[in-house]
Amino acid sequence: MSELIEVLTKDGSYSLRSVFFQENFHSLLGALEETKLKFTSTSNLQRFKGKSLNVLDICFGLGYNTASLLDELIKQNSYLNLYALEIDKKPLEYSLSNKSFLKLWAPKVKRIFESLHRKHYFEDQFFKCRILWGDAREKINIIPSSTKFDLIYLDGFSPQKCPQVWTIEFLSKVVEKLNPQGYLITYSSSAAVRKTLRNLELEIFTIKPCFNKNTFWSQGTVAIAKSYKNKLEPNFNLEKLSAMEEEHLLTKASIPYRDKDLNSSKDDIIKKRLNEQLLSNLSSTKKWRKKWGMTKSSFKS
């Protein structure tokens, strides 16, 4: 799983490509840019200036999302309780050895990452951070049930490459961890993921694209409790799903990934979903794509 190839993205920041998953950790347009646009900016961190917040980072990877979060919270004197879930230590080891990566953040971020790598935790007067190494489907159960999160970052490999962290069963566990005012943020605009989150009683928003909508029609998804939707603070990054996106949720692409006992292999999860799609009377994704003039590469289903 740990065979990784260094990738220089267009904004000058470094990422990695997983040989095992045959997928990059970040968009080639920019690892740093992706983190800031899709996760940090969307989080509305100014809400927590001088206050405390709980954050869950699922699929920590190289640590861009957590590093950017820490960097912003250091500036505004916020108090953080962080849990991170990650199966592979190699990406963090890479980040700690990459001077270009470390220069992006306040020096304290490096100290925190070194402690997470060495001792699996870090604690001082402002931050309490823990990383749980192993399968996220198991490790999420270690987090105390009383701990609810203001922010949950879900940043695993795409559903077709790593369906284990996108199933209805795992997402149910994730949603249980979200506090009533919390944001669940992911780069994925997958119909299966969005429909699952909606079925779990969350309100869905799209992260607005910065590019041509025929190629990049969404930068991801933010889900919040329905009871909180009218109290959502103004966020220039978010908007309601478009008619096109709503129709996407009526196609076979919206059929969820399933993992009843939370221990299925990737192949079993994919096979089960394909069989369910074959038997479904829902509209084909190909028909939807043709109607809206979408390219197949512009979304992950």
**Which pLDDT value is given to residue 211?**
59
- The residue extents of the domains of the chain are 30-292
For 18, the enclosing helix (H) or strand (E) is strand 14-18
Condensed to tens digits (0 to 9), the pLDDT of residues 17-29 reads 999 999 999 999 8
Beta carbons within 8 Å of 105's beta carbon, 6+ residues apart: 67, 68, 70, 71
Q: Kindly report whether the global pTM for this prediction surpasses the value 0.85.
A: yes
* 255-272 tens-digit pLDDT: 999 999 999 999 999 999
Higher-pLDDT residue of 91, 227: 91
CA 252 to chain centre: 23
* Confidence (pLDDT) at 155: 97
Q: In this predicted model, what pLDDT tens digit does every residue of 214-269 receive, in sequence order?
A: 556 788 999 998 877 666 666 667 889 999 999 999 999 999 999 999 999 999 99
Q: Are 253 and 191 in contact (CB under 8 A)?
A: yes
**pLDDT of 2 higher than 70:** no
Chain segment 98-137, per-residue pLDDT in tens: 999 999 999 999 999 999 999 999 999 999 999 999 999 9
Task: Tell me the H-state helices in the chain.
Answer: 31-34, 64-75, 90-97, 99-102, 107-119, 136-139, 168-176, 191-199, 243-248, 266-279, 285-292
136's CB contacts (< 8 A; 6+ apart) are 58, 59, 85, 86, 87, 156, 164, 165, 170
- Measured CA to CA, the distance from residue 184 to residue 58 in angstroms comes to 11
Long-range pairs for 226-235: beta carbons < 8 A, 24 or more residues apart: 226/201, 226/202, 227/180, 228/180, 228/181, 228/203, 229/203, 231/181, 233/44, 233/47, 235/42, 235/44
CATH topology for the 30-292 domain: Rossmann fold (3.40.50)
